[in-house]
Chain A
């Protein structure tokens, strides 16, 4: 029973959403890579503070098997594009227009960020703002990278 509960906690909900450029992204397509899935919203000021640090992390690990997917709760291509331009973000901004994916992932506080291991399992969940470019956060990501890319 305890094992079942642990398995349920670690189960990764599906994620399949369009980005602001119209391309559809599926989490399953990134198997073999570490994926940082960040949930944010336009009205969330800490999210806007946090997003540039995720971009710095992405840039620092640009040559590694590391991907960032930002999921905008109540997504709108217009506002996602504005924020991406304003903050200089280079990762896909996915649009959760009806917030169903946000709900399916059990996110009720923003920002919330998941690290997905290369095997597709949820490795960690961070609730609240974090400086993802700080050494400690970067080490958390690097520890999950496949050996060949470390």
Chain B
């Protein structure tokens, strides 16, 4: 290496061109902009930074590093799907027609809550009985009695409803029923 000491020393006398005065300010600006998460396009960066430098003074003090932010596309997708499902569900609920209460039936009055069963899970909320067919089966003499009885057979559908006052959930049971009644015949 000693053979090259002379040429090395001559090379060291060469002084590289110094950077322009605003380069440090430009870098400082770029670091500040990078901290704010601005996406810089390499092709456009320099010109924009130079003009920004001309307008603004350099920042001083501390340059905190930008927080590393990793965008999670999976979370975004799941969130959007959940939001869409929620909107769809609300739309379906709004579109559902109101139920008609049968005028034919005997409807029990709405129950009143007592403090005793306020904590019960489900409390009775109503009973609806819809009689949709009644048939007169004529006179009968039940149990060999001498008193004639008129037998009436009726078909109905009964619906029982319960409601949870704390959660608002409701439970409904509906079943058909048949009732046979003997009505005494008098006045003959």
A and B associate: no
Chain B interfacial positions (CB closer than 8 Å to A): none
